[in-house]
Structure 1
Amino acid sequence: MIRSILATPNGNIQEGDEQLFDQWKVVPDSHIWVDMQGETNECVQQLLERFECHPMAIQDAQKERHPPKIEEFDNHTLIIYRGISSFDAKLNFVPQQVCFFIGERFLVTLHSGVAMSIERLFNEHGRTLLALSPEQVALKIMYTSAGYYIDSLLEFEEELSDLEDELLDNGNDVLMRKITAYRSRLVKMRRVFSYHKGITQELTAYDYNHLPRENSETLHAITDVAERFERLYTLTQMYYDICGDLVDGYISISSHQLNITMRVLTVITAVFVPLTFIAGIYGMNFEYMPELGYRYGYFFVWGAMVGIAGVLIWLFRRKGWF
């Protein structure tokens, strides 16, 4: 699907398809936004060549999985961004690559499926921003996408809080598997946000021709995007650390409970070892054992065994071992 928005200097806004390219070409100072969703490589290449995009940029954009990056060319700036097509509070997210070709008078967005942030901007504020400049639209798309991430992460914070309470009250292996799954998803998200954080740092540090920082509106938009991705990276790292603390806490509690159990078993073993020793001696089948002929030997041995057990139990209780 190819759709376009054309903003002319006199304030007229038109919506259509790639046919608006010809009109944009002949109207000076007009801005066009072309959004391509799920188009074939041949169609993408033909359209991008009409905008005189660099062949290397086109090649990078057509790769299914390319790390997020920003690269400047003579006629445009390429931003490869990892957007989302779905995301929920349990960190189940489906990422998709979104490519921005940002020129002085044009913006081309390229993605394989439905992009939530692009859909929202295309139907709401995209026209107003396009009238200002194409880079405003691209930065707003990234800003909106980051907002979806933040909303879901904040919902996950409530899920994580409930999970923490449940783990402390009744920890089990099922909860541990859930926490481990969350940690794995957070690692993937942190890697994506690390890329995006690097992109915004470059936008903040270097002056790209097609994203001019001397324009106060563009600089403000870049700063907003940078702050959002900095917050996303920080939140992801914090939640990852919390999950790690929960795992460590559960392991510590399990180890403590195991130590208590082992201590009780050790006390029982320590009590019965001398008793077993005595029983083993008098269970030997030697013919000449003086104590066997003693009239009160049986009661004497029982008394000695009870006395030893009582002394050991008193000693262990005094030391607080059980």
Structure 2
Amino acid sequence: MIRCMLESSDGSILTGGSELLIEWQRNREGKFWLDIQEEDTSGERKLLEKLGLHTLAVQDAQRDRHPPKLEEFDDFTFVLYRGIASFNAELVHDSQNIAFFVGDNFLVTRHPKPAVSIEKLFSEQGSKLLKQGPGFLALRIMHTSAGLYLDALLEFEERLSDIEDALMNDGNDDLMRELVTYRTRLVKLRRLFNYHRNITDELRSDEYLALNYKDDPMGHAITDLHDRFDRLYTLAEIFYSISGDLIDGYISIASHQLNRTMQVLTVITAIFVPLGFLAGLYGMNFEYIPELKIENGYFILLAAMGSIAVGLLALFRKIRWL
């Protein structure tokens, strides 16, 4: 699917398909946004190269698992961004690479699946941003996408709080499995946000053709985008640490409970070992066992066994095993 947005000579915004692309290619006047989605790979490559975009940048854009990057070419800036196809508060996300080819008066976005941030901005709001400049529009698309990540992470914070309360009240293996799953997803998100934070750091440190940090509006937009990704990275790092702490805490509590159980069993064993020894000793089938014919021997032995049991109980309580 090819969608176009073109600022005409009178300042109005036109939206349409490939016919606007043909019109813009005639003289390349006015600001132009070309959005490409789910196009044939070979046809897409020919179209992008026909627009004067570098072959290597096009190849990077069409790779499914290429990490985010920023690269400057002669007449455009290439940004490869990891956007969102879907994302929810369970941190289940379907991400995709969104390629931005940003020139002085054009923006080309390429993505294999529908992108939530682009769908939100390909409207009246997008036309206002296009008038401000293709670079500003590209930054706003990334900013909108980062906002979707942020909304989902803030919702996840509530779920993490619920898990923490549940672990304290009635921890179980299902909650542990859920926490381990979240921790794995947070590792991936943390790595992703770090890529994007590095890109915005680079935008602030070097001069780029279509994303000039020294230009006041653009500089504020880049700083705002950097702050948002820095917050996303920090939140992912914090939630990762909290998940790890909850896992370690649950394991520690479970180990402590096991130790207490073993302690009680040890006390019971320690008490009954001498009692069992005495019962076994006087239960032997020998005719001449000492004390066997004492008139009150049975009661004396019971008293001795009781004294041993009480004495051991007192000892264990004194050393705080009970």
Interval containing the TM-score (normalised by the shorter chain): over 0.9
Deviations 1:198-222 (A, max 9, x none): 1111111111122112221111111
Q: CA deviation at 1:257?
A: 1.2
Q: CA deviation at 1:68?
A: 0.7
Name the CA shift for 1:83/1:28 in 2 (closer, same or farther; >3 Å): closer
Q: CA deviation at 1:267?
A: 0.9
Contact residue 84 and residue 93 of structure 1 kept, 8 A: yes
State the distance in 1 between where 2:219 and 2:8 align. 24
Deviations 1:167-202 (A, max 9, x none): 111111111111111111111111111111111111
Letter in 2 for 1:120: K
Letter in 2 for 1:314: A
Unpaired runs of at least 5, structure 1: none
State the distance in 2 between where 1:177 and 1:96 align. 27
Contact residue 65 and residue 97 of structure 2 kept, 8 A: yes
State the distance in 1 between where 2:134 and 2:9 align. 13
Partner of residue 104, structure 1: 104
Q: CA deviation at 1:75?
A: 2.2
RMSD: 1.4
What SS class does the counterpart of residue 210 from structure 2 fall into?
A: coil
- Superposition pairs of residues 244-263 of structure 1, within 5 angstroms: 244-263=244-263
State the distance in 1 between where 2:103 and 2:60 align. 17
What SS class does the counterpart of residue 10 from structure 1 fall into?
A: coil
1:94 partnered with 2:102: no
Partner of residue 157, structure 1: 157
1:222 partnered with 2:215: no
Partner of residue 15, structure 2: 15
Contact residue 8 and residue 131 of structure 1 kept, 8 A: no
Once the two structures are overlaid, the 10-residue window that deviates more, 198-207 or 274-283, is 274-283
Letter in 2 for 1:122: F
State the distance in 2 between where 1:55 and 1:119 align. 27
Letter in 2 for 1:191: R
What SS class does the counterpart of residue 110 from structure 1 fall into?
A: strand
Deviations 1:92-136 (A, max 9, x none): 111111111111221110011110000011123111111221111
What SS class does the counterpart of residue 222 from structure 1 fall into?
A: helix
Letter in 2 for 1:16: G
State the distance in 2 between where 1:4 and 1:204 align. 29
Partner of residue 24, structure 1: 24
Deviations 1:27-74 (A, max 9, x none): 465111000010111221121112211111111111121111111111
State the distance in 2 between where 1:76 and 1:120 align. 24
Partner of residue 199, structure 1: 199
Partner of residue 119, structure 2: 119
Once the two structures are overlaid, the 10-residue window that deviates more, 125-134 or 234-243, is 125-134
Contact residue 3 and residue 15 of structure 1 kept, 8 A: yes
State the distance in 2 between where 1:48 and 1:156 align. 39
Q: CA deviation at 1:278?
A: 1.4
Contact residue 75 and residue 209 of structure 2 kept, 8 A: no
Partner of residue 169, structure 2: 169
- Superposition pairs of residues 1-322 of structure 1, within 5 angstroms: 1-27=1-27, 29-322=29-322
Contact residue 8 and residue 27 of structure 1 kept, 8 A: no
What SS class does the counterpart of residue 36 from structure 2 fall into?
A: strand
State the distance in 1 between where 2:43 and 2:124 align. 27
Contact residue 64 and residue 96 of structure 2 kept, 8 A: no
State the distance in 2 between where 1:157 and 1:130 align. 35
Deviations 1:197-251 (A, max 9, x none): 1111111111112211222111111111100000000001111111111111111
Unpaired runs of at least 5, structure 2: none
Letter in 1 for 2:75: N
State the distance in 2 between where 1:296 and 1:213 align. 102
Contact residue 6 and residue 15 of structure 1 kept, 8 A: yes
Letter in 2 for 1:136: F
